[in-house]
Structure 1
């Protein structure tokens, strides 16, 4: 995924060295993909006594785990009552309990392991830009309060005070959430996973998976070969043809971000308490402050890679609409990444053959969801008990007419952008 222009993010890489190596002999587990899901699973599987080899096509943080907005949001896209309706009482409550604790899992891991990751846990705001969106916030607040979550509704004055932005009708505040340096987090996960005993191979893509008796044979671009009893394909939005129908079960989009120059001290009214924000528009806008005081602002973008800085102009316009006081504040960095969506806006677990496992679809909850999911996936891979899983294992179902997804996504984005513009 090469851009025609140089791109760089604001996120700092830790200085801790990584020790890359390859395991020899038969393995318990091969993990394909060194993002949050893959590395968290490798860490917890290695600590459970499994021999683990991680294979990554690029470098640590080259995919979505290193270029996202760093928002750690608990829960899922759907609220508790919808989850109960979809999965029934027992499975629904297990999923609610798991998703409610995903941010806890991340911040507890950072504290317990002493990870070199800038982080702030001041909460997440879902900002309502219309009265209809505000009514949805009322329902979300009611449902999560019934689950005992530390959440609240914000009126127009409160949300203006917490964000410094103009035009919101109110919003939903989830105090369980926070922000991290996403690139530092994935690097630190790689460090502690290798220290726990997981082997790590970088810049060498897995190119084939073959079942041989009770083992899986995994071959790579460079000609390496690994035998493992189980395989986790943790490639998410970067899934290509390795597993039939996996890529065709997902719709991937580009998420673009910009960062201003460090804001001057008299702009301390912009996100003064350090919350992350996502708004209620159909094409979501999201923003936060970085550790060095920049405003980091992101949103959806075309599926093609950017060709010039003009491809980020829609974000600059949106940012200056919400924060007109920024005026001619310079945009110093621009970057982008790929994210995966599912048609029902739910994460999916698949096991198309015995010992071949995968999870995909984050819907904006990727950091908390995938880091926490790594813990339960490791337990399932080690013990084989489905009771450890918060989601049912479902069949891989390709999206109809998937080859035309670019046209469909482009049409949806254009239509949603028009509707969002009319609602301002």
Structure 2
């Protein structure tokens, strides 16, 4: 296995002309960050006829968007009644409805712009790792259907048929959802935006942000972009710059391990319908396949950190427990990404200055919320106002003890993975 060899980088066939910023520029909207949020915003701004400049410090989808599991899930990680309890009876249902339409928004963009990203809309499976997990799914099924989601509760036998594993106690199927190659999807958004006139610049780290005479001035590579409106879309990969707003969140790692491609016979057994899956365990894990038939096992934790060997050992044991016949199949790729987690697991839109938004905090649900909120943020900034967003715009947002909590989550993941042989899979 090649250390840190990101499968999504290896298999991405989408490309965008995104040369480094090499001259001063002006635009209606300047975006910092080339992930799902920034690229969706750039596409919407260009589609509406606005001029837009996007500045990415590394490459498009370098951060969490290019390291994502690739599950195009509807809604948030939280059950809908918890969303309403946190946000209120007016705001909660609006966000639930908007993100419930999220998969169709994503797949429509893929169709409309011909994005080559291995898109499969055959649903996702939320897997019960234990009897207690199935009870949790029964409650999520009740709540989801109450809010109009076409969820299906599957028994143990049907779950085994769909996954090819006997280890799960049932599942919740969301037929709206699906999977994509996430780096390709994000790159395709950028390519589509560039095709409509957006200026996309990679290798253009922002070094200074200031507001002067009613406009934003953003500096990168020694050059200046002047724009009336600003969107900060860096999420968990915010690098910081003089005068720039810094989103606050807890950074949590998630790692993935991809096998060699399965044989035709193995592919017919393992997730034959192509659903993407994650489980109900407190330290969550995921399984899915890609277009070439690789099986991808993911879990909380930093496989590139001090506990990397623990996480890698867990992935091998997890594969053996789920699919004994595949126990010796080699892992050919592994990588990890950072998740921006907020304390209430609700995304945040902060208007930190006039005509300037920061959007962040997807808590592991980046594809649909990033696409939906990036698109809506562009509309809001370009004239539609805060009403274009499906959640309230905050004047400020703060998190406490972020570094301490990030370390706590990594320790918990490492402890859980080290003890995995003695716990239910």
Alignment TM-score > 0.5, same fold = yes
1:266 maps to 265
Are the counterparts in 2 of residues 14 and 188 from structure 1 also a CA contact under 8 Å?
no
1:102–1:264 distance in 2 versus 1, CA, 3 Å: same
Which residues of 2 match residues 310-329 of structure 1 at below 5 A?
Answer: 312-329=312-329
Deviation string 1:153-182 (CA, Å, 9 cap, x unpaired) is 011111111111232111111111101111
Partner of 1:234: 233
Tell me which residue corresponds to 1:371.
371
How far apart, in 2, do the equivalents of 1:70 and 1:15 lie?
15
TM-aligned CA distance change 1:419 to 1:143, over 3 Å = farther
SS of the aligned residue for 2:148 comes to coil
CA, structure 1 residues 185+59, in 2 after alignment: closer, same or farther (shift >3 Å)? same
Q: Which runs of 5+ in 2 are unaligned?
A: none
- Map of 1:68 onto structure 2: 68
Tell me by how many angstroms 1:328 deviates. 0.9
In 1, the alpha carbon distance for the partners of 2:306 and 2:111 equals 37
- Once the two structures are superposed, what CA deviation does each residue of 1:211-230 show, in whole Å capped at 9, x if it has no partner? 2131111112x211111111
Q: CA deviation at 1:35?
A: 0.8
**SS, match of residue 346 in structure 2:** coil
Q: Is the 8 A contact 2:251 2:339 kept in 1?
A: yes
Match of 1:412 in 2: 412
Aligned-pair distance for 1:51? 1.3
Residues 211/30 of structure 1: CA separation in 2 closer, same or farther (3 Å cut):
same
| Contact kept in structure 2, 1:20 and 1:199, CA below 8 Å | no
Task: Name the SS of the counterpart of 1:321 in structure 2.
Answer: helix
Classify the secondary structure of the residue corresponding to 2:7: coil
Calculate the TM-score normalised by the size of structure 2.
0.92
Counterpart CA distance in 1 for 2:405 and 2:144 is: 34
Q: Is the Cα–Cα contact under 8 Å of residues 128 and 171 in structure 1 kept in the other structure?
A: yes
In 1, the alpha carbon distance for the partners of 2:82 and 2:225 equals: 42
State the distance in 2 between where 1:173 and 1:12 align: 28
Instruction: Name the structure 2 match of 1:343.
Output: 343
Which residue pairs with 2:58 in the alignment?
A: 58
**Cα 1:121–1:218, aligned 2, differ >3 Å: closer, same or farther?**
same
Query: Residues 412 and 203 of structure 1: is their aligned pair in 2 closer, same or farther, counting only changes over 3 Å?
Result: same
Residue pair 1:257, 1:298 contacting (<8 A) in 2 also: yes
Distance in structure 2 (CA, Å) of the matches to 1:85 and 1:124: 25
The Cα shift of 1:406 comes to 4.3
Q: Is the counterpart of residue 197 in structure 1 residue 197 in structure 2? A: yes
Query: Number of paired residues?
Result: 419
2:144 matched to which residue of 1? 144
Q: Distance in 1 between matches of 2:107 and 2:370?
A: 13
- Indicate the SS of the match to 2:143: helix
Residue 126 (structure 1) aligns with: 126
Aligned residue in 1 for 2:254: 255
Q: For structure 1, which segment, 316-325 or 33-42, has the greater mean C-alpha deviation from structure 2 after superposition?
A: 316-325
Cα deviation digits, residues 376-397 of structure 1 (max 9, x gap): 1111011142211111122443
Residue deviations 1:350-404 (CA, integer Å, cap 9, x gap): 1111122111112222111111222211110111422111111224433223343
Give the structure 2 partner of residue 9 of structure 1. Answer: 7
SS at structure 2 position matched to 1:26 = strand
| Cα distance, 1:400–1:372 mapped onto 2, change above 3 Å | closer
Q: How does 1:356-395 map to 2 (within 5 A)?
A: 356-395=356-395
Shift of 1:307: 9.0
Q: Is the CA contact (8 Å cut-off) linking 2:24 and 2:224 kept in structure 1?
A: no
C-alpha contact 2:235 2:340 (8 A) present in aligned 1? yes
**RMSD between aligned residues:** 2.3
Aligned to 2:117: 117
- CA deviation vs aligned residue, 1:321-351 (integer Å, no higher than 9, x gap): 1112212111111122222111111111111
Question: Measured at CA, do residues 25 and 5 of structure 1 come closer, stay the same or move farther in structure 2, by a change above 3 Å?
Answer: closer
Cα–Cα, structure 1 residues 260 and 304, in superposed 2: closer, same or farther, change >3 Å? closer
